[in-house]
Structures are given as structure tokens and as C-alpha cells.
Amino acid sequence: MGVFHKAHMRSAIGCIMRDCDGDWTRGYKSMIGLDVPVTTALWSIFYALKMAWENDEKSVVVKCDCEEAVALISNVDPTFDMFKLVCMIRNLMLEELELYDLVHIASSVNIAATALANSVIFDVGVLVEISFPPSYMLSLLVVDKRV
């Protein structure tokens, strides 16, 4: 999940990795600077896939609330200014994973990842892996899991 704060001209990403039962396995977050919402979502997808690959997970479902990002990955447009990032995402999906799915979801069911991204909007741009969910996210994780 990516968030963009227009008033502050800052973007951040947050990702929650879940097991097949929907329970937290790990997450990551980072402030990434100035990016438009679709680019922020693409970076979030890239890092989610990279983290899955680095942890030797071969079956991945990526749920993203940015419909434009999902469309750009599904239907590659070589004129898109972040074409190389889309290609890196597709390479991870097609070459490194045995089974993958990319799904568009409503932002109303992605509140835990949004909260995680919002928590670092004013931080330094370092990608941080999180082993355990922060306490402020526990109730949000339960709500998101139901969907």
C-alpha cells in the first residue's frame, strides 16, 4: 500500500505479508519521497514481491487498492514514465514466483497497510522490515482479515 500526502508532498509505502489464514507474518514500511499515488503503489508492489522472493515464498497474492497500478502491471504501456519499474515487477512475478495473483481491492479493506504507511510519512527513507505488528495495528488487522 502506498500513501501520498499532497499537502506535504511526501509518499510512503507499507506492506503486510500474511499467511494463507490471513495472519501477519511480517511487514515493511518506508518513506519514499515525492511520488504520485500510482508510482507509490507500484513501489509498494515491487517491495512486497521482492520481500516474498527473498523469503523464498513462491506463491503470492498481491492485493492493491490502486486500480491504475494493477492495470499498468496487467497491461504494460511502454510510454508510461515508470515503465522500467513495471517491468521489474513483472519480472519478479513471472520469473521468480511459481504462482501469483494481482488483485485490486477497495481502500476500505486495506486500512492496516494504510496505517503502516502513514506511520512513516515523515521518517527518513529507509526500508524497515517489521517482524511483529505494531500494537496500534492489531484491531485494524482483524478488520482487514475479515474481507
pLDDT digits (tens, 9 = 90+) for 26-46: 899 988 887 778 888 999 899
The CATH classification of domain 2-133, taken from the options 3.40.50.970, 3.30.420.10, 3.90.1150.10, 2.40.170.20: 3.30.420.10
Which residue in this structure is represented by grid cell 497500478? 69
Residue 128 CA to residue 147 CA, distance in Å, equals 26
Asked if the model's pLDDT at residue 70 lies above 90, the reply is yes
How far lies 95's CA from each of 64, 89, 100, 134, in Å? 21, 10, 11, 33
Task: State pLDDT tens for residues 83-116.
Answer: 999 999 999 888 877 777 888 888 777 888 888 8
Say if residues 91 and 62 touch (Cβ distance below 8 Å): no
The domains of the chain are located at 2-133
How far lies 61's CA from each of 53, 57, 79, 83, 110, in Å? 13, 11, 27, 22, 14
Asked if the model's pLDDT at residue 127 lies above 70, the reply is yes
Q: How many residues does the chain have?
A: 147
Environment class of 84 (CB within 10 Å of its CB; exposed 0-12, middle 13-18, buried 19+) = exposed
Which residue in this structure is represented by grid cell 523464498? 56
Say if residues 2 and 43 touch (Cβ distance below 8 Å): yes
Average pLDDT over residues 4-9: 78
Which amino acid type is present at position 142? V
